Amino acid sequence: MREFTFTNAFELERKETEKGFISEKKVWRQFQMTRKTARKFEGDKVFYENNAYIVLVEGVIFNSTTIKKQHRTDLAEALIAMYQTSPTFFAALDGSFSGYLFDKAQEKIYVFANKVGDHPIFYWQQDGRYIVSTSIRTITKILQVNGITCTLNTIGSYCLLTHGWMLQDLTLIENIQRIGAGYYLVSDENILKRYQYHEFVNTIVCDEESEAEMIEKLDTLFKQALKKIIDKNDEYGYQHVAQLSAGLDSRTVNYGLAALGVKDMMNVSYSESGYYDQIIPMKIAEELQHNWLFKSLDNGLSLFLLEEMVQRNSGLVLHYGPAQVWDMFSNLDRKNMGLIYNGVAGDVVAGDYCTENNPLKQGQLTDEANSKKLLHRLEKVIEENKYTVDYRANQEMFLYYNSCFTGSLFGTPLTLQYDCESYSPFYDEDFFAYCLSIPLQYRWDFNLYDKWLFQKYPEATKYLHNGRRKLGERNNIKFLGKQTNFQKLPRQIKEKILRKLNLKKRKINTKHHMNPIDYWYYTNENVTHFMDHYFASEIKQLDAYPEIQADCQYLYHDGNGIEKTQVLTLLAATKHLLGDGNDETATS
């Protein structure tokens, strides 16, 4: 598993080398640093030291070739030259990455995430000592070995039990924070300070373009974003692999790739047998003449990957989504896979993070919560701890910097970073920023999205969106005098409307669902036994936190399948992150 760590105060041990991975350690005075990375995209990765600097970059840099040509040197020396011009040199990097530069003369480190934060970095500091790492578990092990107590973060715990993802910079461990999308750290006399170098906004709108001009520019930027991924895979000779579901976003990616002439494409899909996520991708792959692999998720066997997924994502998100991804990809030979195409953040075209056609609507703590049963407890601990929630300019931006950048990006992308990379053209900087500049009235409720596909990829429009919505039809209804997306209404209101229309709300206790966890729980006794036994045997992990423990018991026994997985993810994460630390990661 890939990882890098930097500390100014503790002893580190080099990670054990695995086949297909590089493991290294450097020491300069009291500063120690380690890296373990897959032997892929090696020309884009850096772990370099000269007399004045130490530089590390992990991930993929789309403009690495351009940077090297501009500076007429290799990537490491080019980055140093850029730093000498500007300490925030990383703002000029384009891609999926994170890293740091250490200035020996100043004994100062600059640690950076990219603009969407899809390669997360975490940090701890106390009394002039600090640790920076891509692994929360590595940090807790180092602290435990050195006699420093680690405890659960109460707010982070309730974030997981409600939203299923972390707010802002939170993690599940007290005093360990995430740097965040568009942020960087600088050490000043051994104190880490966090600054923002980039922010996406939707308040600067382009209202002078016609709808036709918007569609043209949208498509141009989308294809440019796809071309970056294509070129990087081709540079290293990697296979083109793209996820494909019944949704609009992965479909658009694949039709875009076909329009750009990509051949020998491999599509992968996974779902309950007979569900739309099998039927529609099969038809699309056949039409596009792509290779297609389907992995059945029947019986919910991916739920057994609980602890493995928590080890990947440190409990930052629920385990069941990443488990489905890994249930598929763990069965594939990934040696020739590089950047895997995904469709995350396609909501930006559809305005789908807005519950109504109102760009000024403010975000709320209830937005995008998987469960609202314990929201009152989350509100209470936020107030007690005087934690400030930044709701940003409006609801859309609040949810992008939270539900998307700290939720969705820690699903497929983070899961596949085990030994590959994964990227979506939708969160490409240029494309994403342009979409946010389009007035919401054009984007909302898939209005512009559908028109874009009808004009540029008409073949894609003949398949229902998630098997339910015919493209061109709207989801919005008039509610309390406002045009509102029906799917975004509170559950109780939706159920009342459906009752009046003599319709039934689709529940997750049927197999005909994207995540039929209730169905799996109630029809597969092995799943039932695994979940119930895990809960009964591991609820002790919360003995030191009686209020959280009581709330977990309530949510597990009274909750639906997804709520049960929220509890299990917290138990598994507590067990993983707060273990005894007696392994090879750190020594005292």
Q: What is the mean pLDDT of residues 5-27?
A: 94
Residues 246-303 pLDDT 10s: 999 999 999 999 999 999 999 999 999 999 999 999 999 999 999 999 999 999 999 9
Task: Pull the structure tokens for residue 13.
Answer: 């041990």
Model pLDDT, residue 582: 44
- Say if residue 145 is in the same domain as residue 19: yes
34 and 82 inside one domain = yes
Cα-based distances in Å from 383 to 326, 395, 399, 470, 545: 37, 21, 20, 44, 18
In a domain, 503, yes or no: no
pLDDT, average across residues 56-74: 98
Q: Residue 497 pLDDT > 80, yes or no?
A: no
pLDDT at 486 over 70: no
| Cβ 293 vs Cβ 332: under 8 Å | yes
Q: In angstroms, rounded to a whole number, what is the distance separating the alpha carbons of residues 149 and 157?
A: 18
d(CA 393, CA 434): 17
Rounded CA Rg of the chain: 23
29 pLDDT more than 80: yes
- Kindly tell me if the per-residue pLDDT of 210 is higher than 60: yes
For 131-145, write each residue's pLDDT tens digit.
999 999 999 999 999
Adjacent-strand bridge partners of 98: 58, 113
How far is residue 420's CA from residue 96's CA, in Å, rounded to a whole number?
12
Task: Give the pLDDT band of residue 581 (cuts 50, 70, 90).
Answer: very low
Tokens of 264: 């020998």
Does 101 share its domain with 145?
Answer: yes
pLDDT for 584 equals: 40
Question: Range of 402's domain?
Answer: 217-359+394-468
Q: Do 452 and 343 belong to one domain?
A: yes
- 553, 451: one domain: no
85 lies in some domain: yes
Of 420, 443, 468, the one marking the end of a domain is 468
User: Does residue 495 register a pLDDT over 70?
Assistant: no
- Rounded average pLDDT over 22-32: 97
- Rounded CA-CA distance 44/27 in Å is 23
Domain final residue, candidates 451, 468, 485: 468
**Distance in angstroms between the alpha carbons of the first and the last residue of the chain:** 23
Q: In three state form, how does the secondary structure of 432-464 look?
A: HHHHHHCCHHHHHHHHHHHHHHHHHCHHHHHCC
**Which of these three, 468, 483, 516, is where a domain ends?**
468
Whether residues 313 and 426 share a domain: the answer is yes
Q: Tell me the torsion sign for CA atoms 555, 559, 564, 569.
A: negative
Number of domains making up the chain: 3
Averaged pLDDT for residues 451-474:
95
Tell whether the model's pLDDT for residue 587 goes beyond 70.
no
pLDDT at 586: 36
C-beta separation of 59 from 45 below 8 A: yes
With a cut of 70, say whether residue 505 has pLDDT above it. Answer: no
Could you tell me if residue 376 is inside a domain? no
Can you give the pLDDT at residue 476? Answer: 54
Residue 161 within a domain: no
Based on the fold, state whether residues 346 and 245 are members of the same structural domain. Answer: yes
**pLDDT tens digit string along 184-198?**
999 999 999 999 999
Task: Assess if residue 499 is contained within a domain.
Answer: no
Note whether 340 and 406 are same-domain residues: yes
Per-residue pLDDT reduced to its tens digit, 323-353 = 999 999 999 999 999 999 999 999 999 999 9
- Judgement on whether residues 231 and 300 belong to the same structural domain of the protein: yes
On whether both 460 and 530 belong to a single domain, the answer is no
Domain containing residue 311: CATH number? 3.40.50.620
pLDDT at 514: 83
Residues constituting the chain: 588
Answer with the residue of higher pLDDT: 482 or 534.
Answer: 534
Q: Are 506 and 512 in contact (CB under 8 A)?
A: yes
Are residues 46 and 177 both part of a single domain? yes
Does residue 494 fall inside a structural domain? no
Is residue 87 in some structural domain? yes
Q: Both tokens of residue 446? A: 């898939």
Same domain, 92 and 183: yes
Q: Model confidence at 501, in pLDDT bands (50, 70, 90)?
A: very low
Which of 339, 182, 330 shows the shortest CA–CA distance to 253? 339
Share of the chain above pLDDT 90, in %: 88
Q: What is the pLDDT of residues 350-394, one digit of tens each?
A: 999 999 999 999 999 999 999 999 999 999 999 999 999 999 999
Q: What CATH number is attached to the domain comprising 99?
A: 3.60.20.10
pLDDT one-digit tens code per residue, 69-117: 999 999 999 999 999 999 999 999 999 999 999 999 999 999 999 999 9
Q: Does residue 156 lie within any of the structural domains?
A: no
DSSP state of 152: B
